[in-house]
Structure 1
Amino acid sequence: MKERKVITRGELKTFVPITTRWMDNDVYGHVNNVNYYSFFDTAVNQNLIDMGMLDIANSSAVGLVVETGCTYSASVSFPDKLEVGFKVAHLGTSSVRYELGLFKQGETTAAAQGHFVHVYVDRETRRPVPIPAELKAKLAQLVV
């Protein structure tokens, strides 16, 4: 297997704290892999809400996840305090690709790293639409 580079905090633009829960641990005593995707999704959407760019009940354009992936470097478990850092790796007309790292609080290298792609669609028709201009300008600040 080819050795891969583990992402570090310095490669990312913004961070969101994540709290592990008792139920996140599996029978092997660590956070189950499926939860990492939830952590990534939560961090990006929380950031969009904090920037005033996502109203989950009323935004006319919404980002749907169309692709995701994750690789793991170290275990995390409850009650670890975590942070998800991310950057925008690609900003297109209707899509944005995020690259993310999941860090134990205070660690410089990621326990897991991944990506996901949002495609913006009209809330009603679910057809792709351009990323709203104000949102695109804010996302551009996260491009590395």
Structure 2
Amino acid sequence: MSEAFERDTYPHWVTVPTRWSDNDQFGHVNNAVHYTVMDTTINSWLQAHDFDVTKDGGTINLIPETGCRYFAEIAYPDAFEVGLRALRVGRSSVGWECALVRRSDGELVALATSAHVFVDAVTRRPSAVPEALRPHLVGLMTGSRQEAARSIS
């Protein structure tokens, strides 16, 4: 891997076990599973911070962009350790990054990115990041990115 991985730049960590069905015919976890792990990590974090579209359907979040760079394999019965951080927090959107690490040896398996745009559930037009959520999102940023995000309203 050409870029340095710094575990402490990810403020939130969870463990996500692999499942028997995650392995493909090549004997490792299929690449589509990495996206599921990222999506589950992000949405669990959002729900833990009181953003749950099943409670208040007025604002939802849509995903216009995703990406993943793979560095190593992982296979069942190992587990992912997933680090979550916000890369940017805008007026109506957030950019996410998840570091997917192999629990057995601490090897970085993949860096997965996505973006969420908060929209009105009916019109599907962008709406502001919920104010109660914004400070928590900014808390997932590190360094100078936090200061820039705090100034956006």
- TM > 0.5 fold call: yes
1:50 to 48, 51, 74: 48
Report SS of the residue matched to 1:133.
coil
1:102 to 92, 100, 103: 100
Q: Map 1:1-144; keep pairs closer than 5 Å.
A: 4-105=2-103, 107-144=105-142
Unaligned runs of 5+ in 1: none
**TM-score, structure 2 as length reference:** 0.85
Unaligned runs of 5+ in 2: 143-153
| Distance in 2 of aligned mates of 1:122 and 1:109 | 40
Structure 1 residues 99 and 136, CA gap change in structure 2 (3 angstroms): same
Percent identity reads: 35
Question: Could you say which structure has the greater relative contact order, defined with CA pairs below 8 angstroms and 6 or more residues apart?
Answer: 1
Q: Deviations over 1:10-33 (max 9, x none)?
A: 221101221211111100000011
Whether the 8 Å contact between 1:8 and 1:109 is mirrored in structure 2 is: no
Question: Aligned pair count?
Answer: 142
Q: CA deviation at 1:57?
A: 4.6
The root-mean-square deviation of aligned C-alpha atoms, in Å, is 1.6
**TM-score, structure 1 as length reference:** 0.90
Q: Deviations over 1:99-120 (max 9, x none)?
A: 1100122644421112100000
| Distance in 1 of aligned mates of 2:73 and 2:6 | 16
